[in-house]
Amino acid sequence: MFFKRKLASSKDELDLNPDYQPKKYDAYILDSIAKKYKGKKIGLLAENALKELKKLCLNKSF
């Protein structure tokens, strides 16, 4: 095995900090990144983060 330490799973990396308070411009930034890099890895990550942010905003009020 080439890696000495265990790699984190992608699900663990996408967990949001429970103390995080979303800002109004977070969705705008993620949306612009997703549109600019559509189809590329960073664009897909931005789309997934935007979906998670929307779920978080529906569960919590600003």
Question: Quick one: pLDDT at residue 25?
Answer: 87
- Which range marks the domain in which residue 41 is found? 24-62
Interacting residues of 40 by C-beta distance below 8 A, sequence separation 6+:
none
Answer whether residue 7 is part of any domain.
no
**Residue 59 near residue 19 (C-beta atoms within 8 A):** no
Answer whether residue 55 is part of any domain.
yes
Domain count, the chain: 1
Answer whether residue 44 is part of any domain.
yes
Question: Quick one: pLDDT at residue 14?
Answer: 53
Q: What is the mean pLDDT of each run of 10 residues along the chain (62 residues)?
A: 56 61 85 93 92 78 51
Answer whether residue 39 is part of any domain.
yes
Question: Quick one: pLDDT at residue 55?
Answer: 84
